[in-house]
């Protein structure tokens, strides 16, 4: 990460300007930097964007409406938005080797909605229009329109189950995807915790989905996208991969061949703020067969694009094209392995027994007799920021859970290496070993309360602070 007084001047000046209007916001921005500097951030979906990425977001691009696509806008005066959107797409195509890139989605959930509707438009709407001899939906009779709406709402999706590491947006009822699609899940082999491709193939043959969604938020191993595509082709499904979590590993060429989703899936979605280390946002990549439908994301499911965020996406993707991003991606995985090995050596049980990517899932119920919620709270008391997560066949359900998910993208950006990861594994193990389950006010065992000696939590928190002091966050930025 670059350092220097130019960055300090830029951020200090920005904060002073804000202070002139609402000092409490200025204070909160400054405090957020301090909090981030002081925390041992192991949340697998977070990172630290570069100063260039952050600065690209705070400007007058925010004022501009730009519905439409590059060169085809519904508003006048979009030439500069065209420049940044085209650059974001060009860098994305280059970084990922994609035929087409769409940089407008505001978030990962939006990117997934764009992708679902692109597939529905291509595979359900377009044939219906053709059958009715209509050019567009407005030309359909009331009867044909009613039939099409019914057909659009009657499609099937096969997605990874939540407890195996899938994401809510992959067809689960609390999310709109679960209300749109009739969803069935595939999971992992209970004996190994690994994706069970043969069971998936069998379910796909029986269920005949329109879309198979691959991708995850909490699966610590590689996914073979060549096999996934083979299964999708066999049953006539479109393969969509949500690489929100591991896009940085694809950009950094750590995931290649069968493990790179882009050559195998017809459509790939991502967030830009996790391992990819860009601004908070989403993106869709696809092959040319779906490009036209994907570009209709606005107005299909999106409002006007966020040109300031697209500017920051272009900067982040330019960073991802540099050779040092490849070594960053490799260090994420090296660190994740070191963390896993450190935990295993100390006796912890890990889902799948280890990791091949940026995240590790500790089974805290089997290892320490704690729920995920108790472990998460005890670690937070000790200055270690993680989040609880379900594990396959979770005995504690989706709220309390039995897992703790930890990831290395953020600490790797900060410069920590494998030696520090081993030490962090030791800190985590010490906290969880010293923690016990609490009791409810009625004296019954609690899944929420935990007991941890303050001496232990204070000692670990101090060690975490000392460790982080050797790896300053945003070293070029001094807010004074
Ligand atoms: N897809 C996956 C696999 C995710 O892990 C997430 C976020 O955690 C999302 C989509 C949603 O991203 P966002 O929070 O940007 O909407």
Asked whether 217 lines ligand 1 (CB < 6 A), one says: yes
Interval between CA 138 and ligand 1 midpoint (Å)? 33
Which domains are seen in the chain, by residue range? 61-320 (3.40.640.10), 324-469 (3.90.1150.10)
Res 462: pLDDT? 96
User: Do the Cβ atoms of 335 and 357 come closer than 8 Å?
Assistant: no
Q: Sorting pLDDT into bands at 50, 70 and 90, what band is 102?
A: very high
What is the Cα Rg of the chain in Å? 23
Asked whether 215 lines ligand 1 (CB < 6 A), one says: yes
Asked whether 283 lines ligand 1 (CB < 6 A), one says: no
- pLDDT (tens digit, 9 = 90+) per residue, 232-287? 999 999 999 999 999 999 999 999 999 999 999 999 999 999 999 999 999 999 99
Look at residues 243, 252, 198, 201 and name the one whose alpha carbon lies nearest to residue 222.
243
Res 177: pLDDT? 96
Res 5: pLDDT? 82
Half-sphere exposure of 80 (CA within 13 A, CB side): 12
Check whether 166 is labelled as a binding-site residue.
yes
Q: Sorting pLDDT into bands at 50, 70 and 90, what band is 3?
A: very low
User: Do the Cβ atoms of 255 and 239 come closer than 8 Å?
Assistant: no
Quote the pTM value. Answer: 0.97
Asked whether 107 lines ligand 1 (CB < 6 A), one says: yes
**Protein residue with its CA nearest to atom 7 in ligand 1:** 108
Interval between CA 167 and ligand 1 midpoint (Å)? 7
Look at residues 177, 184, 115, 127 and name the one whose alpha carbon lies nearest to residue 151.
127
Catalytic site residues? 65, 67, 242, 271, 274, 280
Res 2: pLDDT? 44
- pLDDT (tens digit, 9 = 90+) per residue, 412-435? 999 999 999 999 999 999 999 999
Residues 6+ apart with CB under 8 A from 38: 383, 465, 468
- pLDDT (tens digit, 9 = 90+) per residue, 304-331? 999 999 999 999 999 999 999 999 999 9
- pLDDT (tens digit, 9 = 90+) per residue, 388-400? 999 999 999 999 9
Separation between Cα atoms, residue 282 and residue 271, nearest integer Å: 4
If you average pLDDT over residues 110-133, what whole number do you get?
Answer: 98
Look at residues 121, 86, 89 and name the one whose alpha carbon lies nearest to residue 102.
89
User: Do the Cβ atoms of 74 and 30 come closer than 8 Å?
Assistant: no
Interval between CA 176 and ligand 1 midpoint (Å)? 14
Res 441: pLDDT? 87
């Amino acid at each position: 990460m670059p350092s220097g007084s130019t960055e300090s001047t830029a951020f200090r000046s920005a904060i002073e300007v804000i202070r002139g209007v609402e000092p409490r916001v200025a204070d909160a921005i400054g405090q957020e930097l301090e909090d981030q500097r002081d925390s041992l951030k192991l949340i697998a979906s977070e990172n630290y964007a570069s100063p260039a990425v952050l600065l690209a977001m705070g400007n007058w691009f925010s004022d501009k409406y730009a519905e439409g696509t590059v060169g085809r806008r519904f508003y006048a005066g979009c030439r500069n938005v065209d420049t940044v959107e085209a650059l974001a797409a060009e860098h994305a195509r280059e970084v990922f080797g994609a035929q087409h890139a769409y940089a407008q989605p505001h978030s990962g959930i939006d990117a997934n909605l764009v992708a679902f509707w692109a597939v529905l438009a291509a595979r359900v709407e377009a044939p219906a229009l053709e059958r009715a001899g209509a050019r567009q939906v407005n030309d359909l009779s009331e009867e044909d329109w009613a039939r099409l709406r019914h057909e659009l709402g009657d499609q099937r999706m096969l997605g990874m189950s939540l407890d195996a590491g899938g994401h809510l947006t992959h067809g689960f009822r609390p999310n709109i995807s679960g209300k749109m699609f009739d969803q069935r899940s595939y999971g992992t082999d209970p004996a190994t915790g690994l994706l069970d491709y043969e069971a998936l193939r069998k379910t796909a043959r029986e269920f005949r989905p329109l879309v198979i969604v691959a991708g995850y938020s909490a699966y610590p191993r590689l996914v073979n996208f060549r096999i996934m595509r083979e299964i999708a082709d066999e049953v006539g499904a479109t393969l969509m991969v949500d690489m929100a979590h591991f896009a940085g590993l694809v950009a950094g060429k750590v995931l290649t061949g069968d493990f790179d989703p882009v050559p195998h899936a017809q459509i790939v979605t991502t967030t830009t703020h996790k391992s990819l280390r860009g601004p908070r946002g989403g993106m869709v990549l696809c092959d040319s067969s779906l490009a036209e439908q994907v570009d209709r994301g606005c107005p299909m499911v999106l409002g006007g694009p966020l040109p300031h965020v697209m500017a920051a996406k272009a900067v982040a993707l330019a960073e991802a094209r540099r050779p040092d991003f490849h070594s960053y991606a490799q260090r994420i995985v090296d660190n994740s392995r070191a963390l896993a090995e450190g935990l295993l050596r100390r006796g912890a049980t890990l889902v799948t027994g280890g990791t091949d990517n940026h995240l590790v899932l500790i089974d805290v119920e089997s290892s320490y007799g704690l729920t995920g919620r108790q472990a998460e709270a005890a670690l937070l008391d000790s200055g270690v920021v993680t989040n609880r997560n379900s594990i396959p066949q979770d005995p504690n359900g989706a709220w309390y859970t039995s897992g703790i998910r930890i990831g290395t993208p953020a600490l790797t950006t900060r410069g920590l290496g494998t030696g520090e990861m081993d030490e962090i594994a030791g800190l985590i193990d010490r906290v969880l070993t010293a923690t016990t389950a609490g009791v409810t006010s009625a004296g019954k065992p609690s899944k929420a309360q935990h007991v941890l000696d303050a001496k232990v939590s204070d000692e670990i928190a101090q060690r975490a602070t000392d460790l982080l002091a050797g790896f300053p966050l945003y070293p070029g930025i001094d807010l004074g």
